[in-house]
Structure 1
Amino acid sequence: MPVFTILVYDVGEKRVARVLKTARKYLHWVQNSVLEGEITDANLKRLKEELKKISKEEEDSFIFYTFRTERYYSREIYGIKKGGHDMFL
């Protein structure tokens, strides 16, 4: 069963592009260092494993917010809208 996930990350400049490219295989880019979308538990585990291979634990940070349903989730955007729901680079 898919879960709605928000990924927020802060990584070293040299790894930003690789992290974004990897995360966009599974989630939608929203804005700098933020992605979201529905993802299965198996793919969430796969995403975390891929990110661990790219990242440096002593320098980088990843936060995963997961919701079992979008029913209790809302989002407001102020200012310009970045990103989107395009899964292609």
Structure 2
Amino acid sequence: MFVILVYDVKAKRNNKILKTCRKYLRHVQKSVFEGNLTEAKLKRLKNELKKISNEKEDSIIIYRFETLKYSSKEVLGTYEEDSVFL
């Protein structure tokens, strides 16, 4: 499945969240990641993020797309495709 993950966390946890997300997804903007994941990898990612984040202070949103049939992406400005995550 294709996943878009966005987050807004306290500064003291930002680096740990960033490093964890980079293990699984492509970093496309400051707190935005995207890529294809299996259910198992998504579960591992979520478990790691839950250990790092604080539910009362942080926000992590994951959008899941089972198919990209009706989707499109438009980029204004620079964007480098990374074939590893396509």
> If the TM-score is normalised by the length of the shorter chain, which range does it land in?
0.7 to 0.9
Aligned partner of 1:37 in structure 2 is 35
Aligned partner of 2:82 in structure 1 is 85
Contact 1:4 1:38 in 2 (8 A): yes
| Separation in structure 2 between the aligned mates of residue 59 and residue 84 of structure 1, nearest angstrom | 33
**Helix, strand or coil: the match of 1:58?**
coil
Q: Which amino acid aligns with 2:57?
A: E
Identity of aligned residues (%): 56
Contact 1:28 1:86 in 2 (8 A): no
- Structure 1 position 76, deviation (Å): 1.0
Q: Which amino acid aligns with 2:82?
A: H
| Separation in structure 1 between the aligned mates of residue 62 and residue 77 of structure 2, nearest angstrom | 24
Aligned partner of 1:23 in structure 2 is 21
Which structure has more helix as a fraction of its residues? 2
Runs of 4+ in 1 over 6 A off after TM superposition: none
**Helix, strand or coil: the match of 2:48?**
helix
- Structure 1 position 70, deviation (Å): 2.3
**Helix, strand or coil: the match of 1:45?**
helix
Q: Which amino acid aligns with 2:17?
A: V
Where in structure 1 are there 5+ consecutive unaligned residues? none
| TM-score, scaled to structure 1 | 0.85
Q: 1:72 to 1:48 in 2, by over 3 A?
A: same
Deviates more, 1:28-37 or 1:65-74: 65-74
- Structure 1 position 7, deviation (Å): 0.1
